[in-house]
Structures are given as C-alpha cells and as structure tokens.
Structure 1
Amino acid sequence: MATMSFSIPDDVKDRFNKAFADANKSAVVTKLMLDALDQIDHKRRSDKAVRRILNRHAKNKGPYISTEEILRTRDQIRAESDSAHGIRRK
C-alpha cells in the first residue's frame, strides 16, 4: 500500500477529523479519491459522446426542424391517437 502526502487548509483538516472521528480515515480518503476518479471517467465519456453527437449533427444535411414544428406535429399525432381511441381532452 502506498502513502501520499497532501497539504490542505487547517479548517478542512479539522472538519474532516471531526466528521470522521470514529472512521478509518485512510478508507474514507480512498473512497473519496475513487469517487473523484469515477466522476472524471464519467465526464470524459460524456464529453466524448457529446462530441460524437455534435459531429454527426454537423454532418447531417437534412432539413432543420424547429421546436415549434416538432411540438405541433407531436400534438397532431396525439390528437389523432386520442380521436381513434375515443379520448377527449380539454
């Protein structure tokens, strides 16, 4: 097992020691570090996915459809479906 040394503000050290007085502090710090590493990995994967989506979007030469048009179409489909099923909405 390795040993690491960090400099932290005294108030953070005091709060940490108080909050985890009865805990294995090495285990707590290890868990916090693993959580931070997981968050970094998740962010990297998310950023990569966003870049892929944006690249696909940039390459797409299809017609632009506005949000309003999408919502109108959605409402029309819902109305047709409701009508077919005898549902009335106010």
Structure 2
Amino acid sequence: VEQITMGIYVIRAEGARPRDEPFADVGVILEGVEVLLNLKSVTLGCVMLLGLIYALNLSYPKDLKCTFEVFQKVLMELDTAKLSPKVQALKIKMLQ
C-alpha cells in the first residue's frame, strides 16, 4: 500500500451529489497521518496545507512540485520573485 506524503481529502455525505457542499469532512494528511480534520472547505484545506508546509519546513513532493509552486507563487502571491521557468510560462499564459 502506497502511503500518501501530503494531501487534502474530502468525504462527501452519503447520497450527496458531486457538487454538493458542505462536505461531511475535509482534512489534511501529512506523512500518511491525518493532521487536520473537520475543515469547512477545500479552500481552507489548501491554505492550511500550505501553512503546514511552511511551518514544518517541508519539501514539496516531486510529482506535485509545480502544482504547489503555482498555489504558492501565482495564486497566493508568495515569494513571486523566484519562479521556475515552467511556472513563469504558465503565469504569462494566464495573464494573456
């Protein structure tokens, strides 16, 4: 069984449709351990995950490095002076 390094999980209420909110549960997993639960939204889950990454000085998972960099540097506008070439190209395309 592959262990999840970090992520956000969403549990829908029984019988809920795909777009229904609020969810039964939204939480954050780090190193395979549920560290936050009962968050009110996926947005809050994203923000809390990024906050934990900063507070605990964690590295982004290799396969999600660019995704997290977009969250951090483009969407949240943190440390925008140091963009990787891939993220810089995406940001330019988004601004056109």
Could you say which structure has the higher strand fraction? Answer: 2
Q: Which has the higher contact order (CA 8 A, sep 6+)?
A: 2
In the superposition, the TM-score normalised over structure 2's length comes to: 0.21
Could you say which structure has the higher helix fraction? Answer: 1
Rg comparison, structure with higher value: 1
